[in-house]
Amino acid sequence: MFKGSMPALVTPFANGQLDLDGLKKLVDWHVDQGSHGLVPVGTTGESPTLTHAEHDLVVETVVKQAAGRVPVIAGAGSNNTAETVRLVKAAKAAGADAALVVTPYYNKPTQDGLKAHFLAAADNDLDIIIYNIPGRSVVDMTVATMADLAQHPRIIGVKDATGDLSRVPKQRLSCGPDFVQLSGEDATALGFNAHGGVGCISVTANVAPALCAQMQDATLAGDFETALSITDKLMPLHLAIFAEPGLVSAKYGLSKLGLCAEDVRNPLVGLTDGAKAAMDDAMRHAGLIN
């Protein structure tokens, strides 16, 4: 179920409030463009600045609008285990297919602490995908810890944003070939799949869903020549999107396509003029705008 290109969805705002109509429009557009799944309320969905009620409402809206056409992996991350459990339960109640749970940030748990956190999340009758992103959380889940957690029937995979492609075969050997490995880094998504991954939870796919889906389809079919050709189109966009906070760039790109306002919540602010110019150039290179 969980493979291919899955946009880490932005959360549209209008005058500072949730734009649910805009969110529904984005869901339909992504399905039409060939995205293989949707991941709302991650960091790209501005989860840190959503209220609990807003967070739950976004998940409910995406699940309802997707209507089973693609799977939905709901963000359920917190550095508070009790809050993570609440978010997982809310995702299950909304009908999400899985929850994406990040390694707890800032409080820097030990590997035993990580095990306790994820086992608590997993004991709620919903599939769990670990999100390992040491650059943001300041804690790295080891391969050995992940292998231990993979023994739980509900802990089914990882979104790996370590940037270390050697992790993919190591985790495949330790966690088994059926453990779902999804890239969390757009620029190395092709290489990630070549090492044994099966997809990407992508920021770039917010703006270029068709190209990202086509690249993923090519790698999964073993057609790396086609995948490389598509990556050549996408690479400037990968780089431009992350020149400043990725979600801000993604919203700017969507605004150029008439699909989303640029509005973000503080402490984030709009793109600089230089970043906008880089996004414009990259979108032209990818054939997304004239």
Catalytic pick among 105, 131, 251, 252: 131
Decide: 91 and 74 in contact? Cβ < 8 Å. yes
Alpha-carbon torsion, ordered 52, 54, 59, 64, to 10 deg = 140
Instruction: Please count the other Cβ atoms lying within 10 Å of the Cβ belonging to residue 65.
Output: 18
**Pick from 79, 124, 126: which is nearest to 103 by CA?**
79
- The conformational region for residue 173 under phi > 0 = left, psi -120 to 50 = alpha, else beta, is alpha
- Give the rounded distance of the alpha carbon of 134 from its chain centre: 15
Which is catalytic among the residues 92, 159, 251, 276?
Answer: 159
Active site residue 131: yes
In terms of Cα–Cα distance, which of 45, 41, 35 is closest to 10?
A: 45
Q: Is 4 helix (H, G, I), strand (E, B) or coil?
A: strand
Per the listing, tokens 């705002």 go with 13
Q: In what order do the strands lie in the sheet with 73-75?
A: 4-7, 199-202, 180-183, 155-160, 127-132, 98-102, 73-75
CA nearest neighbour of 99 among 80, 125, 120, 126: 126
255 membership: H or E segment, kind and range: helix 246-256
Instruction: Clarify whether 64 is annotated catalytic.
Output: no
Provide the annotated active-site residues: 131, 159
